[in-house]
Amino acid sequence: MRLDGKIAVVTGGARGIGAVICEKLAEKGAIVYSCDLGAGEFTNPNIKMVNLNVTDREGITKFVEDVKNQYGKIDILVNNAGITKDSLIQKMTEEAWDAVIDVNLKGVFNMTQAIVPLMLENKSGSIINMSSVVGVYGNIGQTNYVATKSGVIGLTKAWAKEFARKGEQVRTNAIAPGFIKTPMTKDLPEKVINTMVEKTPLRKMGEPDDIANAVLFLASDLSKFITGQTIGVDGGLVI
């Protein structure tokens, strides 16, 4: 499976799952824009780092215009940027609610709204949204985060229908990772991690690589008849 000649955009691409997604897409031959608040460390010259906040609609418009001028298209969009600001609802500040909705949900809207016209013009494209197992089964202390990750599953279905309505081959799918070893999970208490591992049929945490492999599949023509789906990459946690 090769992605030569494809142009990919990955948000939150500087570290964790996003950085590995950038590396894998570039390894397969794609030109990859790693969009993040800070720079990542990459050796592959096909990965271009872009300072971009997914909440900055003006910055996104300018970025997409630049890519359009250079390549005339974007084939793959991975809406991966995400944050957590956890607490029980009684203690959740309005600011924590707004911040998580702004990045995890509105950020997905902002990026897709700016990029999908290029895909529709080209009648082809693959959008991959990062959800989470908690968007499927809920979680204590994550009202804001869960709302965004469930929302992402919903808009994935809406877009699968909307972006193909004139027969365009623009597909939208989501991935719901289980517990993955990244900077996002490294500070979780050991007790929490052990409990999650015990509940996971495959009895381990996942690696960013596991998620990036699913992205590769959804980005490529190997999945050309798959749209509107949320694929669990979770060691069997949600069964």
Contacts to ligand NAD by CB under 6 A = 11-12, 14-18, 36-37, 53-55, 80-83, 103, 107, 130, 132, 177, 179-180, 182-185
Residue 33 annotated to the active site: no
> What minimum distance in Å lies between the beta carbon of 77 and ligand NAD?
13
**Distances from the Cα of 122 to the Cαs of 73, 74, 115, 169, 209, in angstroms?**
7, 9, 11, 9, 30
Positive or negative torsion for Cα 148, 57, 183, 28:
positive
Task: Determine the Cα–Cα distance for residues 44 and 26; give it in Å rounded to an integer.
Answer: 7
- In eight-state DSSP terms, residue 83 is -
Length of the chain: 239
Q: Which is nearer to ligand NAD, 160 or 233 (CB)?
A: 233
CB distance 5 to 29 below 8 Å? yes
Q: Which is nearer to ligand NAD, 27 or 209 (CB)?
A: 209
> What minimum distance in Å lies between the beta carbon of 217 and ligand NAD?
17
Q: Which is nearer to ligand NAD, 28 or 149 (CB)?
A: 149
Q: Which is nearer to ligand NAD, 6 or 149 (CB)?
A: 149
Q: Which is nearer to ligand NAD, 90 or 208 (CB)?
A: 208
Residue 158 burial (10 A CB sphere; 0-12, 13-18, 19+): exposed
> What minimum distance in Å lies between the beta carbon of 55 and ligand NAD?
5
Angle, CA of 33, 101 and 78, to the nearest 5°: 25
Coil, strand or helix at 150: helix
Calculate the CA 54 to chain-centre distance. 12
DSSP for 167-232?
Answer: S-EEEEEEEEE-SB-STTTTTS-HHHHHHHHHHSTT-S-B-HHHHHHHHHHHHSGGGTT--S-EEE
> What minimum distance in Å lies between the beta carbon of 184 and ligand NAD?
3
List, in sequence order, every beta strand (DSSP E) within 103-179: 124-130, 169-177
> What minimum distance in Å lies between the beta carbon of 125 and ligand NAD?
20
What residues act catalytically? 145
